[in-house]
Amino acid sequence: MILFLAGTSDARALASRLQAKGYNLLASVVTDSAAVSLQAEGIPYRVGRMNEEQMLELVDTRSVKCIVDASHPFAEEASKTAMNTSLCRNIPYIRYERPDVPFEHPLITKVDSYEEAALTAKERKGVIMLTTGSKTLAVFTKHLLGEDLRLLCRMLPNKENMEKCESLGLAQKDIIAIQGPFSKELNIALYNQYGVTQMVTKESGKVGSIDEKMEAAIELGIEIILIKRPRIEYDNRCTTFEEVEQQLGGFF
**Does the pLDDT at position 208 exceed 70?**
no
Confidence band, pLDDT 50/70/90 cuts, at residue 205: low
The answer, yes or no, to whether residue 179 has pLDDT greater than 90, is no
Categorize the per-residue pLDDT at 101 as very low, low, confident or very high, splitting at 50, 70 and 90.
low
The predicted pLDDT at position 90 comes to: 96
Residues 159-172, mean pLDDT to the nearest whole number: 94
pLDDT given for residue 212 in this prediction: 87
Q: Confidence class of residue 251 from pLDDT cuts 50, 70 and 90?
A: confident
Q: Which residue has the higher pLDDT, 10 or 95?
A: 95
Model confidence, pTM: 0.79
Contact (CB, 8 A) for 214 and 185: no
Burial of 228 (0-12, 13-18, 19+ CB in 10 A): middle
**pLDDT, greater one: 51 or 205:** 51
d(Cα 202, Cα 131) in Å, to the nearest integer? Answer: 8
State whether residue 69 is helix, strand or coil: strand
Lowest-confidence pick of 5-14, 105-114, 146-155: 5-14
Indicate if the alpha-carbon torsion angle 70, 75, 76, 79 is positive or negative: negative
Lowest mean pLDDT: which of 21-35, 95-109, 130-144, 192-206? 95-109
User: Cα torsion for 166, 167, 169, 173, to the nearest 10°?
Assistant: -10
* CA neighbor of 121 nearest in space, from 196, 174, 210: 196
Residue 110 three-state SS: strand
Average pLDDT over every residue of 107-131 = 96
Which domains does the chain carry? 2-99+231-251 (3.40.50.2000), 108-227 (3.40.50.150)
pLDDT of residue 124: 94
What average pLDDT does this structure show over 102-106?
82
H-helix or E-strand containing 217?
helix 210-219
- The arithmetic mean of pLDDT across residues 105-128, rounded, is 96
Contact 206, 101 (CB under 8 A): yes
Distance CA(41)–CA(168), nearest Å, equals 37
Residue 232 clears pLDDT 90, i.e. is over it: no
State residue 195's pLDDT score. Answer: 98
Q: Is the pLDDT of residue 204 over 90?
A: no
Tell me the average pLDDT across 160-173: 94
For residue 207, the model assigns a pLDDT of 53
Q: Specify the pLDDT at position 106.
A: 95
Q: pLDDT tens digits, residue range 51-73?
A: 999 999 999 999 999 999 999 88
